[in-house]
Structure 1
Amino acid sequence: MAQPPLSDDGHHVVIDGRRWRATDPAIPEERRAELVRILMSWRREVRATKGTEGEAAARRGVQAAKVALGERGSPPWWEQTDEQRRDRWQADLAEPAG
């Protein structure tokens, strides 16, 4: 799958003319793949729990995975120290029970 183009500063991907925060490029590939797998599990959980009490927890899981990847959260990854960035992506992340 082709990667979407990055903005000139490398901080955002551009999809259909819209800018989205890019994944932190300093995340080691193995950990990035693990975080993406967890994110996709939570997204499936959101779909499976739509309209139920479990949906809120699933959405929190998506948020946590996106923050770990650097795609959300404040400050953005490019304003964090190397230690803050490492702590963010190394933090334990819960996975859906199902």
Structure 2
Amino acid sequence: MRHPVTRDGRYFVVRGRLWRMADPSLPEERRASLTRELMAARRAVGVALRSGGTAALRDARAAVDRAKVALGERGPVWWDDGAPDLNRKLVRNTPYAAWFEALGAGPDGT
């Protein structure tokens, strides 16, 4: 993987920010299907942005959100140990700061 993943597998880091990983308990077929839905929704966002369609953009962004929630990347966390959700937080402001610094990774996480 191009971006470092936390040891617990909950997040990957891009430009110094944590991003939640997909739920590892999802069956591979389901994950692949949801990933295809997510990519199609992201393409629809691009089309809507280029065409200036406000309703289309709203719908496409909602589709992205639905796919990300279904994948476990947004919405309720997929772990059950009570740890907080640190999605989108700067890694330097989280309990993962020392781990990330020890990697010697640059600000883009690589």
- Corresponding residue for residue 56 of structure 1: 58
Q: Aligned pair count?
A: 78
CA distance in 2, matches of 1:13, 1:3: 9
TM-score, length basis structure 2? 0.64
- Corresponding residue for residue 94 of structure 1: none
The answer on 1:79 being equivalent to 2:90 is no
CA distance in 2, matches of 1:79, 1:66: 19
Letter of the aligned partner of 1:67 in structure 2? V
Letter of the aligned partner of 2:28 in structure 1? E
Identity among equivalent pairs (%)? 50
Superposition deviation, residue 10 in structure 1: 1.6
The root-mean-square deviation of aligned C-alpha atoms, in Å, is 1.7
Bigger Cα Rg:
2
SS at match of 1:4: coil
Superposition deviation, residue 31 in structure 1: 1.0
Superposition deviation, residue 3 in structure 1: 5.3
CA distance in 2, matches of 1:33, 1:12: 19
Query: Which 5+ residue runs of structure 1 have no aligned equivalent?
Result: 81-98
Superposition deviation, residue 9 in structure 1: 2.1
TM-score, length basis structure 1? 0.72
Listed as ranges, the matches of 1:26-37 within 5 Å are 26-37=25-36
Which consecutive aligned stretches of 4+ in structure 1 deviate over 4 angstroms post-superposition? none
Query: Which 5+ residue runs of structure 2 have no aligned equivalent?
Result: 82-110
Q: Which has the higher contact order (CA 8 A, sep 6+)?
A: 2
The answer on 1:24 being equivalent to 2:23 is yes
